[in-house]
Amino acid sequence: MKLRIALYQVRIITYNSLLPCNLLSYLLPSALCLLPYCSQSVSIQPNLILAIAAPTDLDSVVYQKVQEVLEKLAQSQSEQIELLPIVNPATPEAIDAVLEQQPHIFHFIGHGCLNNETGKEIGQIALVDDVFEEALWVDAGFFGGLFNRYRPGIVMLQACEGGMLSASQAFVGVASKIVQQNIPVVVAMQYEVSNITASCFAYRFYERLAQDDPVDLAAQNGRRAIANF
């Protein structure tokens, strides 16, 4: 199959929005906006990493449904897409190690929050401390910096079910930071959805990518799949 990703056409997709995908040039430094645009079709079998951050001192992260649908997809379309070993717990060190495998798609599920610092709300994501397995809250700059050495073609951020609206807003804020690392596509929820809804979107989105759909069309199919949820 061909994985079709537009290089330097940096996008953020909010998968529970019916609006078209927005080119985030207005969020990026002018130097980055001037990078040349080119479209690339690569004949490869895309591989996907699922990273689960479930700190022991926070509410449970209900990740089983999304893990189930991704395993089902990889099994039913084994020649089109590969699911690499799941990262759980998602510590910074574990994420560094898995990115060395150069995954094409990085799917993260975990907690997020908005902290009010000096009158400005700052989005944070909870990774897992590698000693006590408790929450290691990191800001958008730290999380985006994890992609300095290797940049997947697609990063999907999924706030765990039961999180407050601020968690989803935090993920969108973090997504805007990730695109500054030249990640071509970042997918995030705009507001809270159930894990079933998020899993349904992910299944259809990745399924369409495996069938050679470009990212925008795959996202549209994912949105249609959850339109009645």
Give 177-200 pLDDT, tens digit per residue: 887 778 888 888 766 677 788 888
Can you name the residues that pair with 52 across neighbouring β-strands?
A: 109
Determine the pLDDT at residue 119. Answer: 65
| Phi-psi category of residue 187: left, alpha or beta, with phi > 0 → left and psi -120 to 50 → alpha | beta
Who has greater pLDDT, 3 or 105?
105
Using DSSP, state whether 119 is helix, strand or coil. coil
Please state whether beta strands 120-128 and 135-139 pair in parallel, antiparallel, or not at all (unpaired).
antiparallel
For the stretch 65-112, pLDDT in tens is 889 989 998 898 888 889 999 999 999 999 999 999 999 999 999 988
Q: Which fold has domain 2-225?
A: Rossmann fold (3.40.50)
Who has greater pLDDT, 223 or 17?
223
Determine the pLDDT at residue 21. Answer: 35
Instruction: Measure Cα distances from 120 to 102, 126, 153, 165, 222 in Å.
Output: 35, 19, 31, 17, 33
Band (168; pLDDT cuts 50, 70, 90): low
| Phi-psi category of residue 159: left, alpha or beta, with phi > 0 → left and psi -120 to 50 → alpha | beta
* Nearest one of 74, 32, 20, 59 to 206, comparing CA atoms: 74
